A and B are shown apart, each in its own frame.
Chain A
Amino acid sequence: EVQLLESGGGLVQPGGSLRLSCAASGFTFSSYAMSWVRQAPGKGLEWVSGFSGDGGSTYYADSVKGRFTISRDNSKNTLYLQMNSLRAEDTAVYYCAKGNNVGGTSYSAFDYWGQGTLVTVSS
């Protein structure tokens, strides 16, 4: 059974940093692209960042480029999101999501999602 378990969320002051983790199990982690998608309270879905399955490429939304860094440790089956210079508008539930296209291409739908971790940026 595929499972994605996010952790690392919490309350942080503007300008602060957090690192989110997503522990994956139930599939060959290294073979699939992974992404982070966020949802502000009461709002829609926003793709934040992605990592190709082959580990060769990373991608970011303009809203987080230069502030967030995505990484993955295939030996630990874990995806990370380092978030720096956090702003109030980064407040959201952050989901990790698995691409559904075996082979690692980033251009795939998301077939499994974690339950999410809440990040609140406030003074």
Chain B
Amino acid sequence: DIVMTQSPDSLAVSLGERATINCKSSQSVLYSSNNKNYLAWYQQKPGQPPKLLIYWASTRESGVPDRFSGSGSGTDFTLTISSLQAEDVAVYYCQQYYNIPFTFGPGTKVDIK
């Protein structure tokens, strides 16, 4: 199984400041045939299901604010919130869909400082 790790476990950022979350996979999730990274990012607020933010490592889902961006390739990925808003307080998960079983990172909790 591909093991996903995230860092940090939690972070507190001032409103309007940048938040950066890292995700690492135990093996590459880059499929050479199509040059796509099978990596997604989700946001989950308390009492709600997860919401897809980013797929193919850097493609923003429709309707997601452009302050959210994804980057990285192979085994190392980053989710950046360029200017944190109050509504961004949530837990963020990365997920690989390169291999079955699909696996999620343990989550990173983002709060307001």
Contact = CB atoms under 8 A, between A and B. Distances in A.
B52 A100 contact: yes
B59 to A, nearest CB: 9
Contact of B40 (A50, A109, A113): A109
Contacts of A44: 93, 104-107
Interface residues of B, number: 23
Contacts, number: 58
Contacts of A115: 49
Contacts of B42: 45, 110
A59 B102 CA distance: 10
A61 interface: yes
Among A50, A113, A115, chain B packs the most CB atoms within 10 A around the CB of: A113
A24 B67 CA distance: 31
Contacts of B61: 111
A6 B56 CA distance: 27
Instruction: Classify chain A's interface size.
Output: 20 to 34
B24 to A, nearest CB: 16
Interface in B91-113: 93, 95, 97-98, 100-107
B38 interface: yes
Interface string A76-114: 000000000000000000010000100000111111111
Given A45-B95, A109-B55, A50 B49 contact: no
Interface in A13-52: 35, 37, 44-47, 50
A100 B95 CA distance: 14
A1 interface: no
A116 interface: yes
B74 interface: no
B97 A46 contact: no
B72 interface: no
Nearest to B44: A45
B49 A108 contact: no
Contacts of B50: 37, 45, 95, 110, 113
